[in-house]
Amino acid sequence: MSATSLAAAPVAALLLGVLIQLCLSPLLSPRAKGRIALVSGLAALLAAISLVPTVNGGRVVTTTLFDWDSGTPLRYHIDGLSLLFVLMATGIGTAILLYCIEYMADEREGATRFYVLMLLFMAGLVNLVCCADLLLMYASWEVIGLCSYFLVGFWYTDPAASEGARKVLVMTHLPGYGLLAAVLIVFSRTGSFAWPDPAVRQAFTGGLFLLILLAAMAKSVLVPLHTWIPEAMQAPTPVSALLHSACYVKAGVYLIARTFSFMTWPAGGQALVLTLGCATILVGAVFALRETDLKRLLAFSTVSQLGFIVTGLGLGTKAGVTAGLFYCLSHGLFKATLFLCAGVVQHAAGTRDLSQLGGLAARLPRTAFLWILAAAAIVGVPLTNGFIAKWLLYTAALDGSAVVVVLIAWIGSVLSSLYMLKATVATFFGDLPPALKHRQLAEAPGSMQVGIGVLSVGCVVFGIAPQLTMQWVVNPAAMSLGFPPAESVSWLGISGTSGASGALAAGVIMIALLVGGVLYSVATPRRDPAVGIFTGGDPLPAVGQVVTASDFLETIEDTFAPAYRALNPDPLYRAVWVQVRGIGERMDQGLTPMIEAHPFWAAAAAVGVTTLLLSVFS
């Protein structure tokens, strides 16, 4: 089968899954629905993988599927960048769907709705990144927006979920008009929506870049449009995982990256994106530090991590863009792992409040292990993909003499170590809190663990052998944006060398790490897990007590107190909403009683106004 005929296969597989769910809904159990969704996701992933050899060779797969609207066909243009995001959506999405089978097994009423929305979510992102037409790209943009809205409000009778969904809708949909405005203005200039069309490329100007960036900022939680994401944590955990890792926040990253294909960034554009990226790194990390809700902490960590990714793209060099794209893929893997582990914790403990958790490593050892792997990746510990991603980013920033960027990224990395340490220790180490001691704390069922395991293995495999993703996915993506292939990356992220010296260096590092590990295990006496916990510098509690989130970083929280007030834009948004609503209410109170009580006088006044209008304008 040719690559052209396979181009639509990922979306088709996902939509077929939707159709089956809808048609067979009354006959299937929630588990069966989950399995069907998994098969759809798997088929989409295999179809995406089958495109890799073609796209890796520098080819672009193009095809026209059907005439969507008169004069606007649904055309695909699949290049390296598209494929990176397709693989991320289908690969990570499929692992999450595997996890969902057991997680949603008791959800009798909403299982069809859930799986239909999940599959549409994935299909929406795949369609978004494959579309050659900007209008249909926008339509997909809104489809994934709606999917996230409905999924965040999945438990719609819960007021918190409902309000969270409202915030997601308003805060991401409204800036999305920036993208639509840019698309339509380009259309009015050229008569075309096709971004590969050279005429369209020439029509993009600096103002339109700002409109596109506005839309991307809201989707990719860049400061100051990031405040919807903690509220989205009312969603079922697999939704949070998909939203954060592959199918939602990454849409904005795709859009920013795609602008390299169809426009030259205006003067100041790079500085603006870098500023937004760096501010997002810091704000996300600072807010994550004070969170005591495990999922909200992860949500703010997504804000911070997206800052790293966008900073990479903002550097605008081949090394920077490569680093940003590698970071994007890596973040998908470790963030999905962390969310899915958080789901297991919440499921087992009945809470995600860090002050009520602790000591779960003893009862959920496999979950703790997988969490630690992903936490190591997000912090940037060697042997994980997070290390490679950060390494590439620092290198790119240093190559570009962006010392301030390096400094901010370094501070962000330190802060991410602190909040991940807080989350890890408060959840998994110390003694079990009294409330959990008598609770049945069981590990997640096998399929859920496999789902998490696949993702966390990815964090390690692509940390040890990053050349796999660099060669097959990331470099073709950067090349499709017009950047030459980046310097080759070898084992453990060692770059610039090939052959014996690189392998030797990698070998030395591996041996050193192994020896270190052996020495540590031999030299460290076995201890009660409840004592000797590193708390980040605060006084240790008495032996046997639980170390909770509030024991951590109180000093830092106090230090950042003014920042928490100053950096939260929600009061401003609320003030705008109150003002707009107030105008409407005052207009209604002022006009309606008078007009409706005397409709014929109102008609006479309206005739007078019309005549006046005509005399002024005619």
Partner 1 sequence: MNHTDAAFLELFLLVLASVALFATIIVQGDRRWWRLFTCLALLVVAAIVVGDGWSRRLLLDGAVFLAALMIATRGGPEAARAGRIYFALMVLSIVCIAGAMLLLGPGRTPLPHTGKTMILVLIIIGFGLKLAFVPFYFWLPTVAAAASPMTTVVIVSVLDAAAFFELAHLRQAVPWVFMEYRTVWIVVALASMYGGALLALGQRDLKRMLAFSSIDDMGYLLLGLTAGPGMGLTGALAGAFGHSLSKLLLFGAVGVAETRLGAPLTLDSRGQAARFPICSAAFIVGALAVIGIPPTCGFVGRWRLYAAGAELGGNALVIAMMIATGVAVLYYARAIHRVWLGGTGERAAWPEARVPNLTLTLLVAVILALGIFPAPFISVLP
Q: 157, 401, 440, 524: which one contacts partner 1 (CB under 8 A)?
A: 157
Q: Where are the alpha helices (DSSP H) in 438-474?
A: 446-464, 467-469
Q: 60, 180, 533, 567: which one contacts partner 1 (CB under 8 A)?
A: 180
Contact 36, 152 (CB under 8 A): no
Q: Tell me: does residue 156 bind partner 1 (CB under 8 A).
A: yes
- Single-letter amino acid code for the residue at 313: L
Q: 16, 146, 381, 406: which one contacts partner 1 (CB under 8 A)?
A: 146
Contact 13, 43 (CB under 8 A): yes
Residues across the chain: 618
Q: Tell me: does residue 188 bind partner 1 (CB under 8 A).
A: yes
Minimum distance of partner 1 from residue 504's CB (angstroms): 55
Q: Tell me: does residue 610 bind partner 1 (CB under 8 A).
A: yes
The residue written with tokens 């920033």 in the block is: 397
Q: Tell me: does residue 39 bind partner 1 (CB under 8 A).
A: no
Q: Cβ closer to partner 1: 519 or 583?
A: 583
Contact 445, 102 (CB under 8 A): yes
Q: 271, 404, 414, 607: which one contacts partner 1 (CB under 8 A)?
A: 607
Q: 67, 554, 558, 570: which one contacts partner 1 (CB under 8 A)?
A: 67
Residues 537-596 that bind partner 1 (CB under 8 A): 577, 580-581, 583-589, 591-592, 595-596
Q: 24, 174, 398, 511: which one contacts partner 1 (CB under 8 A)?
A: 174
Q: Tell me: does residue 26 bind partner 1 (CB under 8 A).
A: no
Q: Tell me: does residue 484 bind partner 1 (CB under 8 A).
A: no
- Single-letter amino acid code for the residue at 444: A
Q: Tell me: does residue 521 bind partner 1 (CB under 8 A).
A: no
Q: Tell me: does residue 195 bind partner 1 (CB under 8 A).
A: no
CA distance 327 to 245: 11
Contact 397, 320 (CB under 8 A): yes
Q: Cβ closer to partner 1: 10 or 153?
A: 153
From the list 37, 52, 55, 40, the residue with the least C-alpha distance to 10 is 40
Q: Tell me: does residue 23 bind partner 1 (CB under 8 A).
A: no
Q: 70, 401, 440, 524: which one contacts partner 1 (CB under 8 A)?
A: 70
Minimum distance of partner 1 from residue 209's CB (angstroms): 14
In sequence order, the β-bridge partners of residue 76 are 63, 131
Contact 308, 281 (CB under 8 A): yes
If DSSP codes are grouped into helix, strand and coil, which group holds residue 353? strand
Contact 288, 241 (CB under 8 A): no
With contacts defined by CB under 8 A, name the span among 167-175, 304-312, 449-457, 495-503 that binds partner 1: 167-175
Q: Tell me: does residue 210 bind partner 1 (CB under 8 A).
A: no
In sequence order, the β-bridge partners of residue 508 are none
Q: Tell me: does residue 404 bind partner 1 (CB under 8 A).
A: no
CA distance 519 to 541: 29
The residue written with tokens 């409840």 in the block is: 530
With contacts defined by CB under 8 A, name the span among 65-73, 439-447, 467-475, 527-535 that binds partner 1: 65-73
Q: What is the DSSP string of 262-314?
A: H-PPPTTHHHHHHHHHHHHHHHHHHHHHH--BHHHHHHHHHHHHHHHHHHHHH
> What is the H or E stretch that residue 200 is in?
helix 198-203
With contacts defined by CB under 8 A, name the span among 156-164, 248-256, 283-291, 555-563 that binds partner 1: 156-164
With contacts defined by CB under 8 A, name the span among 55-63, 139-147, 216-224, 529-537 that binds partner 1: 139-147
Give the torsion through C-alpha atoms of 130, 133, 139, 143, to 10 deg: 0
- Binding residues (CB under 8 A) for partner 1: these are 66-70, 135, 138-139, 142-143, 146, 153, 156-159, 162-163, 165-166, 169-170, 173-174, 177, 180-181, 184-185, 187-188, 207, 577, 580-581, 583-589, 591-592, 595-596, 599-600, 602-603, 605-607, 609-611, 613-614, 617-618
